[in-house]
Amino acid sequence: MRKRVAILLAGFLGLWVPAVWSQTRYSTGAVANYPKNPCGGPNLPQTIPEAGNFRGWYSLAGLSLVTRWENNDVWGSDFRDGAAADLEPSGGSDLPDVYFFTGHGICQNAPAATDPDFLVTCSTNGRPDTTNIGMSSRWGNAGGNLKFAFIDASCPMDLVSLGNNWFNPFQGLHVAVGHSGNATHDTRDSSTRGGQFAAYTVGYKIHVAFFDIELFPELSATWAWMTTGLIDVDSNVCAVTIANDTNLQAAENRRDNEKVKSPMARPSGNWYAWRWTCN
C-alpha cells in the first residue's frame, strides 16, 4: 500500500500565501515506464520532470500537495469511480481539488463519435491499467473533491466524441483539459508543456524596487491550456477544454473564467461548453 504524501507549504522566499490559496489542494501522477511487455511502450522519460515542474509552480504559489506518485505507484484504479478507487486515500484522483496526470492515452487512427477516450498507467496494482474515461471516470460525486482534471496524454479528449466520453465524468467536476488527435497526429513527450501550463494557472510576479514585474499572468484554466497546450505536439493536434454548469451561459462563463486559485461554486446542471485550439 502506498503511503500518503501530504506537504503543507507556509511560504517560499518570504512570500506571503493567502489562506484561500493554501486551501486549494493538488496531486500529480506521472508515468514514464511503459515496458513493451506488459504495457505496450514506448517509455515517456519527460513525464517525471514535467510533473516536477508542475509541482514547482504550484508549491511556489502556496497550494497544498496531497499526493505525488510516479510509475508503478500511479494506478489505473485511481481514475475509476468508487471509494476503493478514485477516493482511495493514498492516491485517488477525486481526493484533491486539482489532479495533473502525465502519461499515455490511446489514439484511434480516425476517431469516431462513438469511440472511447482513455488514460493509461502501467502498474502491478489497481489494474486494469487502461481506464475508459466516459465509462468509468466520475469526478466530484460521493464526497469527491476534484474541480480541475488536467490530463496531458495522447488523445484523451477527442473533439468528435466529447459528448460520448466527457459529459458523464462531470458529477461536480468544474473544468477538464486534454488533447484531441489521432494515431498519426499525436501529443509528444514534453517536460515543458505541463510546467508552463501550471505557471499560467497560478501566475507569478516579482517585485523589483517599486515595481511588480509579471513573469506569468494568472489565467483561467482554459486560457492557460489554450496558451500552452500546443507545446510539443504534432500538426492537427488540438488542445481542448470543457466545463459544466446550470445553463449554457453559466457553462461558458466557467469555461472561460474559472481560475485554480479562486474556484467558482460547485456546478450543477447538464449544460456543457468547450473550447479548442489546433496546431
pLDDT number for residue 8? 32
List pLDDT tens digits, range 43-101: 999 999 999 999 999 999 999 999 999 999 999 999 999 999 999 999 999 999 999 99
pLDDT number for residue 6? 36
Cα(119)–Cα(251) distance, integer angstroms: 25
Q: Which residues contact 52 (CB under 8 A, 6 or more apart)?
A: none
pLDDT number for residue 167? 98
pLDDT number for residue 214? 85
Cα(184)–Cα(235) distance, integer angstroms: 9
Grid coordinates belonging to 77: 484504479
**Would you say residue 19 has pLDDT above 80?**
no
Q: Is the peptide bond before 263 cis (omega within 30 degrees of 0)?
A: no
At 277, the pLDDT band (50, 70, 90 cuts) reads very high
pLDDT number for residue 16? 39
pLDDT number for residue 199? 98
Cα(115)–Cα(219) distance, integer angstroms: 32
- For residue 28, which phi and psi values (nearest 5 degrees)? -130, 145
When the pLDDT of each residue in the chain is averaged and rounded to a whole number, the result is 92
| % the chain with pLDDT above 90 | 88
Residue 150, helix vs strand vs coil: strand
Cα(161)–Cα(106) distance, integer angstroms: 14
Region 249-266 average pLDDT: 98
**Would you say residue 17 has pLDDT above 90?**
no
| % the chain with pLDDT above 70 | 92
Angle at 168 between CA 144 and CA 22, to 5 degrees: 30
At 5, the pLDDT band (50, 70, 90 cuts) reads very low
CB of 225 closer than 8 Å to CB of 260? no
pLDDT number for residue 207? 78
List pLDDT tens digits, range 201-221: 999 988 787 778 888 999 999
Cα(157)–Cα(69) distance, integer angstroms: 23
CB of 201 closer than 8 Å to CB of 226? no
Q: Helices marked H in the chain — which ranges? A: 19-22, 36-39, 47-60, 133-136, 162-165, 193-202, 221-228, 248-257
CATH code for the structural domain at 19-278 = 3.40.50
Cα(213)–Cα(233) distance, integer angstroms: 30
Ranges of each domain in the chain: 19-278
Grid coordinates belonging to 11: 511560504
**Would you say residue 1 has pLDDT above 70?**
no
Region 139-155 average pLDDT: 97
Q: In the 8-state DSSP scheme, what is residue 82?
A: S
CB of 54 closer than 8 Å to CB of 194? yes
